[in-house]
Structure 1
Amino acid sequence: ATESGRFTANPHAPFKAASLTTALTLAFFPLVGFEAASLAAERVRHPARNVLRATLYGTALTGLLYVVISNGVVFALPEASVAASDAPIAMFVESFWGRGASLVIAAFASIAAIGCLNGWVLMQGEVPLGMARAGLLPRILGRTSDRDVPTFAVLLGSGFASFLVLSGAIPGLTGVLTFMLQLTTAATVWFYVGACVTALRLRIAPLAAGIGLAFSAWVLWGSGREALILSFALMLTAIPLYWLRPKAREEAAIA
């Protein structure tokens, strides 16, 4: 709020750790996949240098922008208005600079989303492709076009993603999107848990690994019991896939 040209922060409800834990999973969702640059390493020039920079610098810059912008919006606008808004940043800009400026911000947000979508389309094709080549997924997901694009994997992943996006706009299905966001975050965090545990066992950056493990456990706890159990079940499905892979069957036959 502004009074006589001076900024005054809007009052908000007292901080509650329980509320933070509940919101942590959804807040962490935009940062899921920050290591995605490594999946396209074979298609990047000088991957040892550029992938490292993209991962570390990109994550740090994104996190800083999230903190600064989110705090600015929260303290500048009434709590009830922010909670009820579908586009709080656009509402923030409209409150101070007018409708035209908010439309410009919305346009830039759309451009950023399209740019991010390009990266996710690349990622959703590379992951099944690598797993199919390793024998962990059906071979059809490993088929590529003349330009080495995993067409079927990209179309399948895009179809699922489109359904989830559309479900958020259909009355009665909004809860499906929210739950899938929680489940996706929880399922992904298990990979981070495994990486942290491995680092601790190998004594690689034990302090950072311990902090990462504690934070990952916090995110899993905040995802809720149902999402936590289902995400763990998804991790367990990898065990039969691993033992049923062609190489495993060959090793069993030799033994």
Structure 2
Amino acid sequence: MTTAKTSAPRGLGPWMVLALVIGNLIGSGVYLLPATLAPLGTNQIFGWLVTIAGALALATVFARLSARRPMAGGPYAYVQAAFGPFPGYVCAWSYWVMLWAGNGALAVAVVSNLSLVFPVIGHVAGLPAVLAVACVWLLTAINILGVRKAGDISLVTTAIKLVPLVALIGLALVLWLRGTPVIAQPHVAITGGHIAMAAGLTFWGFLGLESATVPAEKVENAARIVPIATLAGTALAGLIYIGISLAFLGYMPDAVSAASPAPVADFLGRYFGATVAGTVAVFAAISAFGTLNGFILVQGEMPLAMARGGVFPRWFERETAAGTPARAHLVSSALLSVVTLLNFGRGMGDLFTFIASISLAAGMLPYAMTMIAAIRLLPGEHALIPVALFATAFTGWATWGLGGEAVGYGAVLILIGLPIYWLVRRTRV
């Protein structure tokens, strides 16, 4: 008599992990940031350079942590291991806020690009926010079905999203090699404040560089695959970002970029026609959709890790037969739906910038805390100390660049979590 064997759900393979990192980095930011950064002129290049340096420093530290101390939960797990439950909780809560708030901006990016193909979207009050929330719940359902299904989507969408970006950089390179004169852009003074503002916004393009460390227990051969994916994904994203930014500065008027709901599509449409612009807008929507999928995967894993660490209600520990934290997914998506719908009156560009800035303001704290935790968790790696300190200083500087409104909203969202910690520690419901 033979006994049927039940196999555990398959985890994320190496290509899926790399696609998760690249997909979470190269998403809405590269397609919408050219419009947000256009008023800053050349300051955006300096902002990108500083941000890439800071992102690579962060990625280096995360890579070493994941190689030496692989733990599910990413930043939260490292901070709790270094400093205990309360700092770990503050890190986890702020990181979770960053995820579900930021996912609202990603969902808006999907709809913003689709509005170029279906203009009616931008002309009906509240419709962009409703469609954004619909995207969120579609992907939430897919992630609940299984982590492997989410990984498959990351692979496909990551491959698709690179096509128009490579085409744009290639076009700009051809124009430059042919001696096409660059556009005379309005002069914008290069100042520390402008560069800091650019860095604060451009870091949106690197949120998720630690994505592979969060679902580490569901990654095959995590100690080897996670560090490679983290560093390779961050470096590749940085090269693409610089290429896109230089292309816009050289061959797209800042005023046109700033007014565009889909600047990458408009750039290619300017040279290849409206049909191409519409096609690229669909690619851009798919890109943001894929990134949203990856971050929804991560936003569900975070409450699960917190619950298992004893700093969140046990109710979040429950997983489905497919090994997915359905309850955490449902609560996270409900919260980001509320944030998006409460701001439905804003235009798509304003809505994206507002939600992204709040997400960044909340998310800088866990990055800084993880860098300090790494110094304690990896005492023998002296060369890593200046890298971690530089990354910490960068997060503080970029936070300042976001401005008082975003930092204020982010601080309020973080403070809301403190009573929950004390309640959970007293009752552990």
Q: What is the TM-score when the length of structure 1 is the normalising length? A: 0.83
**2:270 aligned residue:** 95
- 1:1-255 counterparts in 2 under 5 A? 6-12=179-185, 13-17=187-191, 18-165=193-340, 170-171=345-346, 178-200=353-375, 202=379, 203=382, 205-232=384-411, 234-235=413-414, 241-242=420-421, 244-246=423-425
Aligned residue for 1:136, secondary structure, equals coil
Question: Bigger CA drift: 5-14 or 54-63?
Answer: 5-14
Structure 1 residues 100 and 167: CA distance shift in structure 2, 3 A = farther
Q: Deviations over 1:27-75 (max 9, x none)?
A: 2123112101111111111111111122111111112111111220222
Question: Bigger CA drift: 212-221 or 112-121?
Answer: 112-121
Q: Deviations over 1:63-90 (max 9, x none)?
A: 2111111220222011111111111111
Structure 1 residues 114 and 226: CA distance shift in structure 2, 3 A = closer
Q: Note if contact 2:313-2:424 (Cα within 8 Å) is conserved in structure 1.
A: no
Aligned residue for 2:323, secondary structure, equals coil
Alpha-carbon distance between aligned partners in 2 of 1:49 and 1:249, rounded to the nearest angstrom: 39
The count of residues paired between Structure 1 and Structure 2 equals 248
Alpha-carbon distance between aligned partners in 1 of 2:343 and 2:416, rounded to the nearest angstrom: 28
Alpha-carbon distance between aligned partners in 1 of 2:244 and 2:343, rounded to the nearest angstrom: 24
Question: Bigger CA drift: 111-120 or 41-50?
Answer: 111-120
Higher Cα radius of gyration? 1
Q: Note if contact 2:371-2:391 (Cα within 8 Å) is conserved in structure 1.
A: yes
Q: Note if contact 1:164-1:177 (Cα within 8 Å) is conserved in structure 2.
A: no
Q: Note if contact 1:168-1:177 (Cα within 8 Å) is conserved in structure 2.
A: no
> How far 1:140 sits from its partner (Å)?
2.4
Q: Note if contact 1:74-1:82 (Cα within 8 Å) is conserved in structure 2.
A: no
Structure 1 residues 175 and 94: CA distance shift in structure 2, 3 A = closer
> How far 1:215 sits from its partner (Å)?
1.0
Q: Which runs of 5+ in 2 are unaligned?
A: 1-171
Which residue identity does 2:370 align to in structure 1?
Answer: A
Note the aligned Cα RMSD (angstroms). Answer: 2.9
Structure 1 residues 94 and 220: CA distance shift in structure 2, 3 A = same
Structure 1 residues 179 and 98: CA distance shift in structure 2, 3 A = closer
Alpha-carbon distance between aligned partners in 2 of 1:186 and 1:81, rounded to the nearest angstrom: 28
Alpha-carbon distance between aligned partners in 2 of 1:165 and 1:26, rounded to the nearest angstrom: 19
Structure 1 residues 15 and 65: CA distance shift in structure 2, 3 A = farther
Q: Note if contact 1:129-1:142 (Cα within 8 Å) is conserved in structure 2.
A: yes
**1:253 aligned residue:** none
Higher RCO, Cα 8 Å, sep 6+: 2
Question: Bigger CA drift: 192-201 or 94-103?
Answer: 192-201
Q: Note if contact 1:167-1:177 (Cα within 8 Å) is conserved in structure 2.
A: no
Q: Deviations over 1:191-239 (max 9, x none)?
A: 1211233345644612212221221111111122243345345555666
Alpha-carbon distance between aligned partners in 1 of 2:285 and 2:359, rounded to the nearest angstrom: 23
Q: Deviations over 1:64-122 (max 9, x none)?
A: 11111122022201111111111111111011111122222222222222222221121
